[in-house]
Amino acid sequence: MEPTLVTWMLVVFGAITLSPLTVAYLAFLRSPYSPKSKELMIGKGEDWRDKTHFRFALGGARADVLVLAPLFVSGSVGALLGQPWGYVLFAAAGAISLYINIILWFTEKEYVYPSRGPLRYYTYYWGFFVYWGALALAYSALRLSGIEF
């Protein structure tokens, strides 16, 4: 299962998409109540809507750092090495990204869409996470089924 150009493109797209969020989450986990963390997580001059919003963000940060990031990294390495287990882990990372970000795409739209606008909302603010997750999951399933392109 030699990696193809598409494999490399999805790994790079995933790294570009997930790396800034992982860095923001690590800063948030290090100091969750700091002004810098609040700016990274919700934006300049904005405040947490309530305690549930803060706790959900903190839980998401922990889950992404403990589950999604390791799955993405190990899956990327395995896929680039042409190993079937790599595509399984890559697909798992894609499925997690797709699932949580479809939820966020709709639940956060009321707050994020008006302040960021449609272009940013449908690209970096959850769009890229949904697109990458769907592509990584579908591509891995096809590769594991023996289809190459």
Q: Where are the domains of the chain?
A: 5-144
Tens digits of per-residue pLDDT, 31-83? Answer: 998 888 888 887 766 778 888 888 988 999 999 999 999 999 999 999 999 99
Tens digits of per-residue pLDDT, 120-129? Answer: 888 887 889 9
Side-chain half-sphere exposure of 108, counting CA atoms within 13 A: 21
d(CA 75, CA 140): 10
d(CA 43, CA 37): 9
Spatial neighbors of 2 by CB under 8 A, at least 6 apart, are 82
Residue identified by tokens 């997580």 is 41
Greatest mean pLDDT among 6-10, 26-30, 57-61, 107-111: 6-10
pTM score of the predicted model = 0.89
SS3 48: coil
